[in-house]
Each structure stands twice: as structure tokens, then as C-alpha cells.
Structure 1
Amino acid sequence: MSASQSLGGPSRCGRVVGPSLDKIIKNAAWRKHSHLVSACKSTLDKLESLSESSGTSPGDTQSPIPGLSSSDADCVLQPLFLALDSAYPKVVEPALECTFKLFSLGLVCGEINRSGIVFNMIDAICKSGGLGEEAIELGVLRVLLSAVRSPCILIRADCLIQIVRTCYNVYLGGVNGTNQICAKSVLAQIMTIVFTRVEEDSMDVCVKRVSVSELLEFTDKNLNEGNSIHFCQNFINEIMEASEGLPLKPSSISPPLEVQNVHTPSPKTADETGTDKFDSEAGAEGSKIREDGFLLFKNLCKLSMKFSSQQHPDDRILLRGKILSLELLKVVMDTGGSIWRVNERQVVSYLLFLYNHYL
């Protein structure tokens, strides 16, 4: 066993994080990233004495890593956040790989909305999608789908919308055809996951995998670069198969607010690609799972109605974004069942909005 494989101490989380922190230290530019290197070394030292039950208390239900106290969990995840937030590809890449393992193995859990170390990590991951590195783009898509797929994590409200926006930006702004197909496939798979859970009102659901070839049946065939479809299908299958962990129980999810009105401005990349100003307004829809599902549906409807400006009447990127939104709405409706009939007033209003716009 190599030295890097033995790093991380006795905890399961440590065995995943330790080798990654070692790689981040080796890849960091020491003068520029001295704070990151120091944080990684400090966490490696701490992991050596950290067991799965150390520091935990029965009342500490807010820890994102089961078996560790909130303070210990934050200490373990902080250097990963710093690496993801560095905008330096050589340390972002191992941090993305580590985060993927944490999400897919069920080592991170809880409700993720607008605060906490895991939210900060996801925010940094989304920003990494704009670095212009093709390998990083794929890593970002991989981690974001693994986070949404994990039955241990409930991605909520603004955080869910930000993930979808990031995938839109890779699809609309990327230069690599394979990455664009992967982004579209990830978006379709996210819709399937979210709305299967909406239908069952549960995190513990069997999710159908998307067919990449069917997604390209009518549009985006020009993006296919030889074996792109095969690559992207394997990409989706690998992420979906990797998901482990016990699903969040309803008792672990705090009750929804009666009224929640939040607006989060989109980054500049979203403005340029026509996916700006996702409206994060959500009324009470019962459970948080269903509340966020209807929020996402509403934003997809609004995205499909973006108009070209007088300055750019022939905006091809905007048109592609509108078509993508309609395709994703079809995925949602194909996934939906009785919940759409039970919540008839909510959905019909959106469908009438679409009808009035396009007919």
C-alpha cells in the first residue's frame, strides 16, 4: 500500500479524503496557495485521530458527515471547498474527484439550501464549470449529478436551480460536442430524479436512466463526435450506479416554510446565454420535495419563453436554450403521474401560459 493510500486515518470519510488532500498539496502552487496547503495538512493531521464516532452527540443532527460532529465535518470539508474555490485546475480536479466519491458513497448527507459548508462546496463546483477546461466541465457535471442522485442529500431551492443553470451553461456555452451532449443528458437525468421523487414524495425511489440516443433523436445530432453517444451513456450509467447510502427519512427533512420568496441573480455566463434570472419563487406545495419540484417546473416554463432582443433578433444560443427547456419539460411530463392531476391548478396555469405563448 502506498503512502497516499494510507492517509486519512481510521474513518471511512478519511480514507476517501486523505489521498485527495495529499494530491491537492502536491499539485498546489505553494506560494499562491499557502493557505490551502496549510488547511490540507492540518486536516490530514486531524483525520489520523478521528474515528466515525468521535465528537458526536445525539443532539448533533446538523453534521453533513454522519458519525462526525458538525465542527469536525466542517474541518474535513473546508480544504476541499478551498481547492474547489481556487479556480486552479490542478487542484480543482482532485477536489472534484473526491467530492464525487463523498456524494456517491453516501458519506455526505442532509438538506442543502443556502448555507453551510456543503452548499459552499456546490457553489464553488458550479463556478468551476466556467473555467474553460473541458476535463473540469465533465468533472463538474459528474459531481452535480451525483449530488442530485444521492438519496442522502436533498438539494433545495436556489441550490437546485444553480445546479440546473450550470448544466445549461455547459450545454449552451461549451465548445466540446461530447461535453454538450453530456450536459444535456445530465439535465434530463436530473429532471427524471427530481420528478420521480415528486411523484412518490420520497427520496427512496427507483429512477429510470435516460437514453442519450433518444435525447438526440430530434435535435443536437450535429454534436455527436464519433462515439459521443456511447461515451455519454456510459457517463450517466456510471454515476447512477455509483449511488449508495441510506435515503433521507421524512423526519430528517425540516417542514417547509409557508411562504418563501427568494430571488438570486444569475452569474454573467447565464446572462450571456439567455438563462439569466431564474425566478426562485416558491409557494407552499406540501413537502419540500414537491415544493422544489414545482419551483423547477415553473422555471423551465419561464426559460422556454425567453424572447430575442432587438439588438440580437437572431440569437441562436437563445433558441437552443428554449428548445432544450421544452425538451426537458417533455421529460418531466413523461416522468409525471398522478401528482400532476392532484395538483391540477398549479400545473394547468403553467401549461396555459405555454399554450398562450406558442399558439
Structure 2
Amino acid sequence: MSASQALGGPSRCGWVLGPSLDKIIKNVAWRKHSQLVAACKSALDKLDSVVDDPVDPASCTPLYGLSTSDTDFVLQPLIMALDSASPKVVEPALDCSFRLFSLGLIRCEIDTPTPTPSPSPSPNPSSHSHIFRLIDSVCKCGALGDEAIELAVLRVLLSAIRSPYVLVRGDCLVHIVRSCYNVYLGGMNGTNQICAKSVLAQMMIIVFTRVEENSMMVDFKTVSVAELLEFTDRNLNEGSSIQIAQNFLNEIVDVKSKEGIAESKLCLQLEYDNSEKKGEPIDGEPGEGADLSGYSKIREDGFMLFKNLCKLSMKFSSQEHGDDNILLRGKVLSLELLKVIMDNAGPIWRSNERSSVVKSVDTSVNLDNKEDAASDDLCISKPRRSTRIVIPPKRLDSYLWAGRKSREQGKS
């Protein structure tokens, strides 16, 4: 490599991948991870010879300007580094993943690969599978028990959801949300837990703003961490933790890609508008056998996420473990995220018959005896199924009650 040539070669992806792969090589134990070192060196050699496609650098290949085969080759060492379980190796891999998403260099749909071959496979199944493996490996890093790694995982996951170039779908979307739940419930310190909760709330706003607009290209508000923690989790307020979490969130949300948006918009528009509609019913929608034949992928996945949040709020409720703090915090978090969605719900959630999931949940809030918080119930109802959740903290009762009353006043 010449002295004037940047590490990683002339491609945009190389500018990001090159320094990170070099740092991984320097940090890794060569004898223990010889295959990782070899993969990183091979990827660096490949990047030296790769240039952005001059015809269509923003084509629908998963990595900007790289072919499908090159994408597979250069992502493999990044995934191996994430799977190494060594914080010194994982850290540069997470930072690289964050920049790939935040700068719009990853551009594709991300979903859990199907176990059996599809009759109509996607054009780039291998590369799309590599992107999912990247996300999956990032999620697993949250369990390493390292404070800095936890925050880095949250950065990557929110940047993936925030990117207008990436459509995170189905079970992969739920997987990301569950991984953030795990950081919130078992984070190494209060600041990390506040960051995890803030990231989850921001994800809800982004996803459901897109559901409302039926578009990836939307303007959305940034979560106010102080307001989010106003009624709950005051025990996590460790000095400047709220300001740290707010700065952490702003840094991710405010990142602007250097590339134009129109090309990516066209790419994703073609992917979800021309896709085959599944027509599968979603639990929680009114009517027997209602289908999604008129839904885009964005709205289909939004309703599926909402359904899963309802399930999470039920899962964390347990009469046998009523005093379990983790179960209680998980339940409360689920309800708060549902409230974030309801507070930001637009006309589609109230006017579209198939979109009345929020409406059915909202109207099932039963807080008649407001003075006795211990006896108040919140019922999340779905057709032929319901769960009864007792809310001990009076501040959460008031929190939900205030949100419900404000929505009623807005409709009147």
C-alpha cells in the first residue's frame, strides 16, 4: 500500500472498515484468534482493490458501492470479531458497525433468515444473511458484562433502527428490542439502564412515526430523557446520568449521512412496495381472520412489534413472583413503551379499522379507583385473550392516567 493511500482502499466502505480491521488485528491475541487475524488481513487486501461501482454505487447491494461477493468477504471478519467475546476486540467491531449504519453504508432489509429455502429467494440472500448475522452478533455482545460494550451495543442497535437506508423487519426487529430490554433489566450500572430505556423509547417513536407516514423518510422527535424518567426509575438517577443519557441519544439520532437520501429511498421503496403481501392476521386486530393485504412492510412490522410489546407486558406479570423486582421492572417498561406509542399515535391508529390495536388497548385502561394505586388494574385486551396486571407504584398509575386524560382532551 502506498503512503498516500488510505487504509482500507478508495471505497467509502473501506474508509470505515479499514481502520477498524487494523485495530482489531492490533488488539487481538494472534495465537488464540489466528483465523480472525487472517480474515482481517484478507479483507484489508480485498478493500485495497475495491472501488465504488461507478455505474450505480447506491444499488440495492447491502454495502454501499460493493458487490454482493465483496460484501460477504469484508463483513466476515467483523462478525468474527464480535463473536470473539474479547472486549478489546469487540469494541472496534462495534464502533465500525455503528459507523456503517449511521453513515448509510449498509442499505438493505434485515430479517431473520428463513430455515427452509423460499420459492422466490431474495436477490442477495447471502449478503442479507450476513447483515442479519452482524446484528445478531451485536445483540449477543450485550451479555459480555462490560459497561462500555453495553453502551456500544445500544449505539449500534439504535443506529440500525434510525437509518432510513435500513428496513429492520419481523423477528429481527423484535430481537433488537429484546436485546435492549436485557440491557435495561440487567445493565452494569444505572446510567446504562437509563440509556437502554431511552433507546427503546426512541426506537418506538421512530418505528411508529414511519408506520404513521408509511415511509422510511420521516421527521421524528428526540426523546426527552428527563420526561421519560419523570414518574419511574428515579432510583437510577445517578447524578448526571440523565444528561449523559440525553447526550448519548442525541449523538446517535443527530448523525447525518454524507450521501443523498433519494437513492436509498428509491431502493427501499421498490423493496417494500413491490413485495408479495403475506395476508396473515395479527393478534389484537378486530375481526376474525383480518389480513394485511393492503399493508406495506413498514406497517406490517409496526403492528407486529406492538403485539409483541403487549406480550412482553404479559410475560413479565407473574403472581408466583409478585415481589420479583426484575419481573416488575420489565412489566412497567413494557407498559411505558406502549404509552410512548399511544402518546405519539396519529390519525391512522384511530381511523383505520385494521389499525385499531392501539385503540383497543387504550380503551381497556381501567383506573377507576385512582386514589388506591395498589388496587388499580391495567388490562391489555386482545380478542379472546386478556391479562390482568396489578400496578403497585402509585406514580405509574398517575403517569398512565395523565396520558389517558390528555388523549381524551385532545380528541374532544
The normalised TM-score by structure 1 is 0.87
Partner Cα distance (1:131, 1:4) in 2: 39
Asked whether the 8 Å contact 1:256–1:287 carries over to 2, the reply is no
Matches within 5 A, 1:157-196: 157-196=170-209
Instruction: List per-residue Cα deviations over 1:225-248 (Å, max 9, x = no partner).
Output: 111011100000000111425243
Aligned to 1:267: none
Q: Is the 8 A contact 2:146 2:188 kept in 1?
A: no
The C-alpha deviation readout for 1:131-150, integer Å capped at 9, x for no partner, is 11110000000010000000
Corresponding residue for residue 93 of structure 2: 95
Find the structure with the greater CA-based Rg: 2
Distance 2:95 2:163 in 1: 15
1:294 pairs with one of 292, 303, 308: 303
- For the residues of structure 1 that align with 2:239 and 2:67, how far apart are their CA atoms? 49
Aligned to 1:265: none
SS in 2 for 1:154: strand
Deviation at 1:76, TM superposition (A): 1.6
1 or 2 for the larger relative contact order (CA 8 Å, sep ≥6)? 1
Post-superposition CA distance 1:49-71 (Å, at most 9, x none): 110017x889x955201221100
- How many Å apart are 1:256 and its aligned residue? 4.8
Q: CA RMSD in A?
A: 2.5
How far apart are 1:295 and its partner, in Å?
Answer: 0.6
What is the CA-CA distance between 1:15 and the residue it aligns to?
Answer: 0.8
Q: Does 1:320 align with 2:340?
A: no
Residues 258 and 228 of structure 1, relative CA distance in 2, 3 Å threshold: same
Deviation at 1:224, TM superposition (A): 1.2
Q: Distance in 1 between matches of 2:184 and 2:140?
A: 15
Going from structure 1 to structure 2, the CA distance change for 1:11 and 1:317 (only over 3 Å counts) comes to same
Partner Cα distance (2:217, 2:329) in 1: 34
Partner Cα distance (2:233, 2:276) in 1: 39
Distance 2:184 2:133 in 1: 23
Which residue of 2 is the match for residue 277 of structure 1? Answer: none
- Identity percentage of aligned residues: 65
Give the corresponding residue for 2:229: 216
1:50–1:174 Cα change, 3 Å? same
Offset of 1:299 from its aligned partner?
1.0
Report the residue type matching 1:70 in the other structure.
T
Which range moves more in the overlay, 206-215 or 294-303? 294-303
Matched pairs, number: 337
Tell me the secondary structure at the aligned position of residue 210 of structure 1.
coil
Deviation for aligned residue 1:259: 4.0
Question: Among 151, 164, 186, which residue is 2:164 paired with?
Answer: 151
The corresponding residue for 1:109 is: 107
Q: What residue ranges of structure 2 are gaps of 5+ in the alignment?
A: 114-128, 283-289, 365-378, 391-412
* TM-score in terms of structure 2 length: 0.76
Report the residue type matching 1:89 in the other structure: P
From the superposition, tell whether residues 39 and 260 of structure 1 become closer, same or farther in structure 2 (CA, over 3 Å): farther
**1:242 correspondence with 2:262:** no
Say which of 72, 76, 89 aligns to 1:74: 72
Matched, 1:197 2:206: no
Equivalent of 1:354 in 370, 380, 404? 380
Confirm or deny: 8 A CA contact 1:114 1:158 kept in the other structure: yes
